[in-house]
Amino acid sequence: MEGLGRLMQNVNYIKHLKGVFLQFSKDNRLNPTHISLYIALFQIWNNNRFLEEFYINREEVMRFSKIGSKSTYHKCIKDLSHWKYIMYYPSHNPYKGSKIKMFKFETSTGQALVHNNTKIETSSGQALVSINKHIQTIENNKNINKLDQPKNEKEVIDFFKKENWPEIEAQKFYNHYQGIGWKVGGKTKIVNWQATAKNWIIKAEEIKTNKTQNPVSQNQDNLKTTKNKNYNEPL
């Protein structure tokens, strides 16, 4: 759609993307949908020659960002505006699109309003490769930092039953790791609780086997004393 407002200057395609992705990596409020939406808006901004303000078409933005839900779209674009990645001016006129103003992320001091326009000196292909790598990196970091644990004790019991393991071991396993925050040794985050449960069962079987191989004699008199008792020793 036709944009409005003044043209921008000193908008460097790569520097801007590096700056905004650096901010993305520090912002735990964002999810991949926010990032996809921002990239769609950035592309439309680019198509409008980096106008200070420009109009958008919701269907076009949703198609570019691969967002299928209107409610998700509205939530994410309002989030981006509230968090100062963009300025969003919603339109309630069905014949007129909403207005967007982008923020500049090239500087190390944070966001600054973009006031001028410049030519893009790099290819969009290179930028898209960089975008995809950044999105994947952010998603991977979230998965790494995510603490894997069951929803509740029932989920653990159901898993143990599926594996034909004793229910009492499921209860022991859940209570143990629930008490230490689902960390191995109380320090390292559990990456896969099902795998940890298997190790738990293996250890339990080893303990059971050791007890079977070294039974305590039922005929042993635990109160029996030696014949050569030294009664001068203190009790």
Give Cβ neighbours of residue 221 (< 8 Å, ≥ 6 apart).
Answer: none
- Average pLDDT (85-95) is 88
Q: What is the mean pLDDT of the chain?
A: 78
Sign of torsion over alpha carbons 104, 107, 112, 113: negative
Predicted confidence band at 1 (pLDDT cuts at 50, 70, 90)?
Answer: very low
pLDDT, residue 33, reads 95
Torsions phi, psi for 200 (to 5 deg): -60, -45
* Better pLDDT: 26 or 217: 26
The region of weakest confidence among 43-52, 159-168, 188-197, 208-217 is 208-217
CA atoms within 13 A on the CB side of 48: 27
* Better pLDDT: 209 or 158: 158
- Average pLDDT (1-6) is 50
Question: What letter would DSSP give residue 89?
Answer: E
Task: Give domain limits for the chain.
Answer: 13-145, 153-213
CATH number attached to the domain at 13-145: 1.10.10.10
Q: What is the pTM of this model?
A: 0.47
